[in-house]
Amino acid sequence: MKTMLVPIDFSDVTPIVIRIAADWAVQAGYRVHLLHVLPEEADLVGYETGMQLLPRVTVVPTPQDSRLMDSCRGELEGRGLEVTTRIVVGSPVIEIVDEAQAVGADLIVMGSHRHGMIHHLLLGSVSEGVLRRVTCPVLLVPAPKPEATAAETHEAAASQA
């Protein structure tokens, strides 16, 4: 049986990713492996009395993380799919790439956020990082478009009149 890796971050794109992954998995006979990566916190630097390096903040999965993962798993199992889950702490790109290799992923289905150019320049993109490092196909699911503002709605209505 083929394996589909579905990294999820519990954002607004997650329900869409789950729905699309389920549709593909049912049609093509995939088992689904859900992965949630809790980003590792950076060392904290304080400047109050001179530069100080504070200890790394320890990140651990919360009960809410487990509930959200169970909810996603239940939705997929409700479609008759075989589902495994894993929650890890680390760098999202590295953990997704490592997990894809560990489970022998034949396909990765993941969400892509609508961040601006500055965000991409400064922080990069998890989806870009994954695309550059894996050898299996990756299906990117775009985040929903933000609701139009009242001004945009008014302009659209005026242009149609």
Could you tell me which residue, 96 or 151, shows the higher pLDDT? 96
Q: Total structural domains in the chain?
A: 1
Q: Which residue is listed with tokens 């519990």?
A: 10
Residue span of the structural domain in which 95 resides: 2-160
What integer best gives the mean pLDDT of the chain? 83
User: What is the spatial distance between Cα 15 and Cα 57, in angstroms, rounded to a whole number?
Assistant: 29
**pLDDT value of position 122:** 43
What's the rounded mean pLDDT across residues 18-42? 93
Task: Tell me the pLDDT tens digit for each residue of 105-148.
Answer: 999 999 987 655 554 444 458 888 898 999 999 999 988 877 64
pLDDT on residue 138: 95
Name the H helices within the chain.
14-28, 63-77, 92-103, 117-123, 126-133, 150-160
Q: What is the CATH number of the domain that holds 103?
A: 3.40.50.620
Cβ neighbours around 9 below 10 Å, total: 19
